[in-house]
Amino acid sequence: MVRIPRSWARAGYTYRAGTNRQAEPWLRRIPVPADHLYVHPVTVDLGNDGVAPQVQFTAGGTAQALVGPSGSGDSWSLDQCFLSTSVGQLDAAVCTVYVGPLPLAQAAVTASLAGGGSQFGLGGLGLAFGWFVYALWTGGTAGAFANLRVTGQKTVLTN
């Protein structure tokens, strides 16, 4: 049996089993104002946010890099994508780029590209929080490094 202080019962903080009483006004959820009332969207260059950390090819010759918005109020408008490896332009690696929540076939924005050094446009694509730009390399030199860089504009919330 649970003992409830009499002061709580007098104040109406208890719930009696079997009754169909609605929540008292003081027990209702406090309204939360919308974010847009206290923050303003600002558009700036992607900068270092668009540069994925350097990834290393595995023994099987594969590597994966991804970049995307870091906060729930951020969104990205993409311009271009740059791919490179430490081997250089003559690297035999092949890279496919995906834009979406997961690197699925229907989210591919390019066919297989030369992974050693490529540049292509991503104009018109946008990223919301939870979406990423993935670069998946195959056929690379084990131990070599791969780089993904995305340029564009990001909208962030400020006060």
Looking at every residue in the chain, the average pLDDT score rounds to 79
Domain span holding position 80? 35-158
Residues 34-64 pLDDT 10s: 766 656 666 666 767 778 888 999 999 999 9
**In a domain? residue 14:** no
- The domain tally of the chain equals 1
**In a domain? residue 153:** yes
Q: Residue 80 has what DSSP assignment? A: E
Domain containing residue 135: CATH number? 2.60.120
Residues 57-101 pLDDT 10s: 999 999 999 888 887 778 888 888 888 888 888 888 889 999 999
11's enclosing H/E stretch is: helix 6-11
pLDDT at 145: 93
**In a domain? residue 10:** no
**In a domain? residue 28:** no
**In a domain? residue 79:** yes
